[in-house]
Amino acid sequence: MPDMDKFASFAAGNWQLFLALFVTLGAILWLEVWGRVRGVSRVGPLQATTLISHEDALVLDVREDTEYRDGHIIDSVHIPLSRLRDRIGELERYRDRTLIVGCRSGHRSARACGQLRKQGFEKVHNLEGGILAWQNANLPLTRKTKKGK
């Protein structure tokens, strides 16, 4: 019982730490459940390269313009999340293709995946860990943009 008393004393003295722990665990759980309910799967960088190579998957980059110019996945389509709702028609021709949606870390792209699912896009995957994970897997980025962009 003395160990329980020490723990209770520690917890009471560090309540902010425990609050942060529970908020973080709650956020992780909510994101997991929300992603599954929405029907959006997550793919890691290596899975994404397989989808790009074998299923002609399209990469949609939803980062802001400055982030995109700093380096992006080759041949990706760029529509910032803040403008996705207004520009979703530009993706209509890709409706039947597999879409891999990426951002810096995977949070904005998860929201974009939800928007795309609501608009009837069925083969939508969130790039887990985003461009940061892509870079950590030593996969290439480019700074070149397509002509006309």
Catalytic residue numbers? 103
CA 22 to each of CA 10, 19, 25, 114: distance values in angstroms, whole numbers, following the listed order = 16, 5, 5, 25
